[in-house]
Structure 1
């Protein structure tokens, strides 16, 4: 099943920032901008919810929308290219079925002080939030009502970089909080596959769900999606430009060892 992700909608939280092609990241300045906006226009902007596109299948519950305009998404991408420090050496490797491989993309972890996240047999310590990662986090919270304390950053230099089929189902993640995936840069195919329809041993015929995640978009993976569906970002050789993906999560401290 293919879902057309070119949704002609945009979220204009900070009109002045878009006009100037820059984003004021200080919270005090953002509050000041909101106060200076025309009162009628502000009421119109915030009176309606984000125009979400609902995507559902058996055990799949996903919401999709364009969160940032092109100008704002361009600026955010540029800022992240300057701010994010990606893992190197042993931290740039992953363990799969007991074997260690180089990660076919760049990766970094940021979040609240002291937080760690364990996946694929590796534990990552969260670096302190950067201004832009905080800004995007707050924008996601504003439209979803959910708070997040951790983000996994994946940078794909081109279509050769990819991520294989997996589920974000670690026990330390809050099951009541969706995983919020923000895409910036090159549009890439994103494929969901039901756990019962994978590989040669599949026991059911369930069509995969394919999306194209656009520049500035937000994808919410709600429960029970990660229980029943794997997702991947496959190789696409014709894609020549980079993409940055931010997956915001909420880690439960009382579930960590």
Structure 2
């Protein structure tokens, strides 16, 4: 079965957000019926990290990840964050189809993806920037969401500073919908932190895939 039939990418209606170093393109790019099938296939196909790779280090202490996570990519790629080295497993068919879909939109062949499964509204992602040194900062990070709609919150780095250096810059919130694509274009991840806060009343499963382009070695 072709999970991702040909979609006319020229007909996608993009919403752009530009302010203070924030550069985002957002659209519900995958029709609901197709998104439903992809979510079912991801739920059936993907297996998530266990053991040490299912933990995160905060101020030198390890805690269980407040979500499930796995990574895929081209041979030999690893990704380091929060004191962990994440290996890229071989591309499964549904994730590879999504990578090819993004290539059709942007002409970018991403070589790594981090998949996060939020089992319910208790699972979350804390504030951070995707600006690790092995990422190529000239490429956008592409985020595809399936399942439960969740708010995605971005905060300017200068609005997080304590004391007199703190600037009054309002956060930006986007409700990431089922079948949506978000491009975080440069220099967004150098200047803005992002998070997926806890929402205990939202009970549905959400699977998010963030595709990245690594620096050439």
1:93 equivalent to 2:55? Answer yes
Pairing of 1:1-257 with structure 2 (within 5 A):
23-24=2-3, 45=8, 48=10, 50-198=12-160, 200-201=162-163, 203-254=166-217
**Contact 1:23–1:75, Cα closer than 8 Å, also in 2:** no
**Contact 1:164–1:232, Cα closer than 8 Å, also in 2:** yes
Further displaced range: 192-201 or 172-181: 192-201
For residues 210 and 129 of structure 1, what CA distance do their matches in structure 2 show? 31
Change (3 A) 1:92 1:184: same
Structure 1 residue 200 displacement after superposition: 4.0
Long gaps (5+) in structure 2: none
Higher helix proportion, which one?
1
For residues 174 and 153 of structure 1, what CA distance do their matches in structure 2 show? 19
For residues 78 and 54 of structure 1, what CA distance do their matches in structure 2 show? 30
DSSP-derived class of the 2:98 partner: helix
Q: Aligned-residue CA RMSD in angstroms?
A: 1.6
For residues 105 and 200 of structure 2, what CA distance do their matches in structure 1 show? 34
For residues 215 and 12 of structure 2, what CA distance do their matches in structure 1 show? 27
DSSP-derived class of the 1:155 partner: strand
Structure 1 residue 253 displacement after superposition: 3.6
**Contact 1:109–1:150, Cα closer than 8 Å, also in 2:** yes
Structure 1 residue 141 displacement after superposition: 1.1
Change (3 A) 1:115 1:175: same
Larger radius of gyration: 1
For residues 162 and 124 of structure 2, what CA distance do their matches in structure 1 show? 22
**Contact 2:3–2:34, Cα closer than 8 Å, also in 1:** no
Higher strand proportion, which one?
2
The number of aligned residues is 216
For residues 2 and 194 of structure 2, what CA distance do their matches in structure 1 show? 32
TM-score by length of 1: 0.80
Further displaced range: 115-124 or 191-200: 191-200
TM-score by length of 2: 0.95
Further displaced range: 229-238 or 202-211: 202-211
Structure 1 residue 50 displacement after superposition: 2.9
Structure 1 residue 175 displacement after superposition: 1.3
